[in-house]
A and B are shown apart, each in its own frame.
Chain A
């Protein structure tokens, strides 16, 4: 049994338009993957591909008009789709923790850092205030914050971005979660700080045997810090496998495109608009969703592509021509 199994997950935005018709944006179209304890999975893809939405679906944090319409999310064998809000709340911050990309705005500005750590700990563990405080200080020390006892009294606005992200990591790990989801954990941090934070994250995840999902635009982050990678496009995973296999021998044209378009930095361009508009989730083409943008599109692509296993064990791609050796790598 894997730590986390996501199976054929469909999350849609369902809203009524001004012309009184119900419109459905198919934001996730059958996402499937599995994560083993102690491994780190990188989830990459362009903005709107559904990376963050996958995370929100797993955590049960979707808000209207988004909702899960089909699929299963099994955490340690237990299906979270349809779990009650109370059950989910008990898992969130306890067994499943989240780290977000805006650490400074994610801390309550009116509560001292230490009190926030203590509150998260006591929300999930029956401990007294003194023990929680001790644990919080220990956590701050473990994420490399100097003079942790004093830092407990700091206000969020007194923290730098890197410091805030460390505190968020401490908060996420304080209850020893078994699954950690990091959504763009280093976006907005200085480059040197990025590396420190990622190293820290990697070390803690390894030490505690946590299963982690790292959502990022940065293929470099994936290459250096992840064991496996899943590439998302238009709400589905188009290729997945070990980082070495996928990056070394990409089989899906979208993956090749991603890698080719970012030769040096290995970073998906997020600042500028993409040359091609993102896929219209209200009217995805039949067959392969990447068909409109694919340089190698053929007639066969009008049919839904199969999930083809290639070369390396676990390496799969959702393309009719996946068994053909790639060119750009």
Chain B
């Protein structure tokens, strides 16, 4: 199977503002490095990381919205802007903010057709697009502020579907939604995936969003992929100590299973203070001297399963509740 989207050795640096010092080059800050993974057609790929891990930057780089080095291939070919814009779509984290407040829903969701000069015969109607995400046609006349949180999400999904993309990038698709309707959006994404063969890249800091929906996941820490693999395997047997502590940090609603102690302390260091060696060594419960000096590489340790850790394959399940 050829990959739908291939990322190989992606690197993103950002120019820091020069500030008041008039001499010297303004410093460049490394955000992402050595990112490699593949997205297959029709799969849900979860990208997990905490604030500051670079997950949103990675999505933006994949859409050509920030300059990056490395190889990015969409449907086997190098990226072209037009191909990318029409073949991919984004559902932004804040749905209301991503809709123009002065545009009615109906106009907003068919705007992609005008932008891409799609012939009239190939356009779907606003009512049709709304129907695909389970919304009544009457909603087309509403303004974004008249929508509920769940409706706004669906409207953004409708707009994302307008150009029949092969890949939809969903940034925190359930952020700000009540538990009782989170499932609604995730079920809608599952339907679209099944009925239209859509692939989803779901970006989130919330593992529980992925546990029930993702086929494969990748874990990002401070701009490095630390672990990738099939979601069920990674959840059942996390190999990287960071993945294990993320899973163990999830609060458990069952009071009989309260954690006695913390799985992880401290917080993600700033990008300006990137630790030497393995980026995770400052918080890693297993770190040894080598981790402080030598950066591990991402290597495949089993088919479809990659890990960036010197202490590879050490079973960390005993620290994970099941």
Do these two chains really belong together in a complex? no
Spell out A's residues near B (CB within 8 Å): none
